[in-house]
Amino acid sequence: MGYGFTQNEFEADVIVVNTCAVREHAEMRVLGNVGALNHTKKAKPEQIIAVCGCMVQQEHMTEKIKKSYPIVDLVFGPHELWRFPELLLDVMTRHKRVFATARDDGAVTEGIPLRRDGKVKAWLSIMYGCNNFCTYCIVPYVRGRERSRLPEDILAEARQLVAAGYKDITLLGQNVNSYGKDLDSETDFADLIRMVNDIPGDFLIRFMTSHPKDATEKLFRTMAECEKCAHQLHLPVQAGNDRILKAMNRHYDREKYLTQVQLARQYMPDLVLTTDIIVGFPGETEEEFEETISLCEEVRFDAMFTFIYSKRVGTPAASMPDPFTREEKQKHFDRLTEVANRISGEKHAAYIGTHQRVLIDGETGRDEYNLSARTNGGRLVHLKGEAELIGQFRNVVITGGNTWALYGEVE
Ligand code: SAH
Ligand code: SF4
């Protein structure tokens, strides 16, 4: 439509605020940011303000914007993304507010133009939506049912990425392990990895997220056998106690999770394993929380993404009794963070003196250690070197490490 980009919100003709609905904190920040646009709109009354994404796919949020944020001209949910130019034209020509957030199970839209940030790493969606209905989670309500892109469409995009010089491709889905179950084709996720692996070129394949309930031995074997597949697995466990896992509707127990970790490590002894954990799920007791701690000590994750439970309107967990205070949950969260940080620090210390093949992916903006890189397993490495190295695989020796990162020298 002839638009360009600006970082200056007072100059913009159109402002698009993209949103997430997974936790309340992000939603509050969105509302704060949208409220702040009152100033820009006052200075430039013809400015069009759009809010899109999962947050506005929730009815109560659309209502809130309708009533309390009159500066917003256009609201559209994830299912309407492909209609953005049409909706924008509607606002421009009809001079009225447009709300496009109909309830929908979603479709797969191909051929939408993509603008990627960066030239080294790329995200590649292989499926949309989620069928799992974990009781705390809003995603299935705002993203619709699981639908897979056709293997040939994914492969065509992957080939384009490799031809354009991308070196690190992350296959994306809420639960990549159920890839293809909704298609007529026989291709499952492990087969898809193999097909991407067969594309000629020097690049890495990563993926997320893998749901433990259907991660298979075939997947681990495929990861081990495909030379381009990173030995990196993000396997969210959420909690270490069986009663909580059941109340979360996760469809696995502690035992099954631990068995899977063991199996994955048998196939890939150098596997980098990360996870997500929710602290303070409604009714989680001290003893139950202790089982999350003991699971983390047992597995020793390379990194953990930890969250305090956030109540989501319309999910089953939102109506479960939740007797524990925010302070109690915060205490548990702090303890878990300490354990996670200690283990990450110890894991990183063990890299010191080793040689790693890394992909140099960007600049840090700092003088000493001006480059950032990732190991095959996805751990962050800070290096010193020329900017020309960006986009190259190099061997480095690891000289230092802390909780957050490794430090190294190009060999
Ligand atoms: N599909 C992925 C996760 C998507 S959401 C999976 O199943 O693993 C990313 C993470 O956010 C989840 O793994 C969970 O740990 C966290 N999360 C989701 N809903 C949450 C909520 N209501 N409160 C706190 N954390 C939540
Ligand atoms: Fe949410 Fe569970 Fe689906 Fe992940 S698998 S998106 S946590 S419902």
User: How far, in Å, from the CA of 134 to the mean position of ligand 2?
Assistant: 6
235 with 130, same domain: the answer is yes
CATH for 365: 2.40.50.140
Q: What is the full DSSP assignment across 343-392? A: HHHHHHHTTTT-EEEEEEEEE-S-SSS-EEEEETT--EEEE---GGGTT-
CATH for 269: 3.80.30.20
**Is residue 64 included in any domain, yes or no?**
yes
- Helix axis angle for 286-299 and 254-267, nearest 10°, is 10
Q: Which residues line ligand 2 (CB under 6 A)?
A: 130, 132-134, 137, 139-140, 174-175, 211
Low-confidence ranges of the chain (pLDDT < 70): none
278 with 364, same domain: the answer is no
Q: What pLDDT sits at residue 31?
A: 97
| Owner of token pair 């800070």 | 382
Domain range spanning residue 96? 14-100
46 with 180, same domain: the answer is no
Q: What pLDDT sits at residue 104?
A: 80
131 with 95, same domain: the answer is no
Provide the strand spans (E) within 151-237.
168-172, 204-208, 232-234
Task: Record the tokens describing residue 27, joined without a space.
Answer: 């939603």
156 with 219, same domain: the answer is yes
Q: What pLDDT sits at residue 113?
A: 86
**Is residue 108 included in any domain, yes or no?**
no
174 with 214, same domain: the answer is yes
323 with 230, same domain: the answer is yes
- Cα 284 to chain center, whole Å? 25
> Which of 20, 128, 139 should be mutated for ligand 2, with most atoms under 8 A from CB?
139
**Is residue 337 included in any domain, yes or no?**
yes
CB-based contacts of 233, cutoff 8 Å, min separation 6? 210, 215, 223, 264, 271, 272, 273, 274
**Is residue 317 included in any domain, yes or no?**
yes
Nearest CA to ligand 2 atom 2: 134
Nearest CA to ligand 2 atom 1: 137
Q: Is the CB of 312 under 6 A from ligand 1?
A: yes
Q: Is the CB of 211 under 6 A from ligand 1?
A: yes
Q: Relative to the CA of 134, which ligand 1 atom is closest?
A: 7
pLDDT tens figures, 223-248: 999 999 999 999 999 999 999 999 99
**Is residue 37 included in any domain, yes or no?**
yes
Number of domains in the chain: 3
242 with 376, same domain: the answer is no
Residue 270 half-sphere exposure toward CB, CA atoms < 13 A: 13
Instruction: Name the pairing type of β-strands 393-401 and 355-363.
Output: antiparallel
263 with 148, same domain: the answer is yes
251 with 383, same domain: the answer is no
The pTM score is 0.95
DSSP 186: -
Q: Is the CB of 23 under 6 A from ligand 1?
A: yes
95 with 194, same domain: the answer is no
**Is residue 81 included in any domain, yes or no?**
yes
343 with 359, same domain: the answer is no
